[in-house]
Amino acid sequence: MRLLRSHRNEASLATLALVVLALGLFEVLQPGGRDVASLTGDVVTFNTLVRIGILTIVVVGLNVLMGYAGQVSLGQAAFYGLGAYVSGIFTTRAEVFGLPGGLEGAWWWPWLLMGVGMAFTGLFAYLVGRPILRLKGHYLAMATLGLGIMVYILFRENFGFRTSTVNLTGGFDGLFDIPRLRLGSWELWPITRYYFLVWLAALASIAVALNLVHSRVGRALRAIHGSEVAAEAMAVDTAEFKVRALVFSAMLASLAGSLYAHFQAAVSPGPFSFIGSLELVVMAAVGGLRNVWGAPLGVALILAIEEFLRAKGHELFAGIGSEAEPVVFGIILVLIMIFLPEGLTDGLRRLPRLWQRRSGTPAASSEVTS
């Protein structure tokens, strides 16, 4: 019984796991009084590493949906938000739904909600996916965009209720005092503990996604990406597989949303807006859509750029300060899309070929010629 279907991916996963473990232990042990943030001159903090883990989970799903099934989603933040709000609402105001107040104190309640959130978001994705995934290309992108904004408005406007009568989402301000996760009485906090939980989930989702794309389902999805009619002719139930890819990505986003809610201990509608969805797509595209490994790469790069600009922007652009951040971010984004349209993973894969030094593959002919 092997974890993954391909040796190379197993090695990559093990490498990533080791890096995660090393960084975590570094923060726990603080050798020589140095913490993780000091490694990068306080640019990439430990907090950022946790956020990279959370967003990796979302982007892995998006990667499968867009890169393999070829279905664009500009509303993924809606699913992310659904997870966050299910966790947030039911851990802070379960009594609104007539649930016994004792539940909020029970350690297993948030964990159960995580599953409930995933199931609910998956069901929601299934119901909206059936009609919407009939659309293709631009039209699908726009329908998902509209859906994402609608869900965002519902969060922001407290699902249309007056906050004075039924307060579910807290409107603009959002929800506060969301409890930390616990296992029995062992709290998964401070952040060093939570870090390991988040990355365990991230690594697991990468593993699941890798297995998925290298399975019959994955081949079916790629067939759909290539040509839907041809896939149909090969007896692939295209409608069903497309919806399944959407449900898979939505459930991962929901899981990440729950983890985000318990990480921030607060949820507000901001991150689930249209801009939030765009950022997710940007992360997926920058990393590379045709490769699951693009997800952690893209998320890490984008967050690192954002953190760098936030920390050092005012030194680079005297007098302007952090306001320069979106400009530089936008320029970098445009440049990457122009010069590396297939994303970073593709760029990295092409690097060895540029140096003509890659042993073990037929393409590497340097030994023969030299």
Partner 1 sequence: MSVDAEVQQFLRKRRPAHQARGQQIAWAGVTLALLAAILYLGSQKNFGPLQYAQLVLDGLRGGTIYALIALGFVTVFNVTGIINFAQGGFVMLGAMLAVTINDWGALAQWSPGPRLAAAVLAAVLATTLIGVLVERLTIYPARNAEPLTLIIITVGVYIVMQGVALIVWGTDAYSLPAFTTLAMRDRTFRLGTVIVKAQSFWIWGVTGVTMAVLYYFFEHTMWGRALRACSVNRLAARLMGIRPDRMSMLAFGLAAAMGAIGGIVLAPATRPVYDMGLSLGLKGFVAAIMGGLVNPPAAVVGGILLGIIENVGAGVTRAGIKDIFSFIILIWVLLFRPQGLFGRQQTVEKV
Which of 278, 305, 311, 348 is in the footprint of partner 1 by CB under 8 A?
A: 278
Interface with partner 1 includes 127 (CB under 8 A)?
no
Contacts with partner 1 in 325-354 (CB under 8 A)? 325-327, 329-331, 333-334, 337-338, 341
Q: How far is the CB of 104 from partner 1 (least distance, A)?
A: 29
Which helix (H) or strand (E) segment holds residue 182: the answer is strand 182-183
Among 49, 285, 301, 344, binds partner 1 (CB under 8 A): 285
Task: Pick the closer one to partner 1 by CB: 196 or 317.
Answer: 317
* From 86, 143, 178, 217, residue interacting with partner 1 (rule: CB under 8 A): 143
Q: Does 66 bind partner 1 (CB under 8 A)?
A: yes
In the bound state with partner 1, the residue whose beta carbon lies nearer, of 347 and 352, is 347
134 binds partner 1 per the rule CB under 8 A = yes
- Would you say 22 or 275 has its CB closer to partner 1? 275
Q: Is 150 among the residues that bind partner 1 (CB under 8 A)?
A: yes
- How much of the chain is helix, strand and coil, in % rounded to 5? 75, 0, 25
Binding residues for partner 1 restricted to 223-252, rule: CB under 8 A: 227-229
- Residue 142 is a binding residue for partner 1 (CB under 8 A): yes
Q: Please report how close the Cβ of residue 1 comes to partner 1 at its closest, in angstroms.
A: 38
The structure tokens listed for 20 are 């995660």
156 binds partner 1 (CB under 8 A): yes
CB 323 within 8 A of CB 106: no
Q: Compare residues 111 and 274 and give the one whose CB is closer to partner 1.
A: 274
For partner 1, the closer of residues 156 and 262 by Cβ is: 156
Hey, CA dihedral for 106, 268, 129, 211, is it positive or negative?
Answer: negative
Site membership for partner 1, residue 323 (CB under 8 A): yes
Among 147, 202, 245, 255, which residue interacts with partner 1 (rule: CB under 8 A)? 147
Q: Tell me the per-residue interface mask from 87 to 106 with partner 1, x by CB under 8 A, - otherwise.
A: --------------------
* 139 binds partner 1, rule: CB under 8 A: yes
Report how many residues bind partner 1 under the rule CB under 8 A: 46
| Cβ-based nearer residue to partner 1, 104 or 228 | 228
Residues 248-277 touching partner 1, rule: CB under 8 A, are 274-275
| Of 172 and 176, CB closest to partner 1 | 172
Nearest to 121 by CA among 211, 242, 251: 251
Residues near partner 1 (CB under 8 A) are 66, 72, 131-132, 134-139, 141-143, 145-147, 149-150, 153-154, 156-157, 160, 227-229, 274-275, 278, 281-282, 285, 320, 323-327, 329-331, 333-334, 337-338, 341
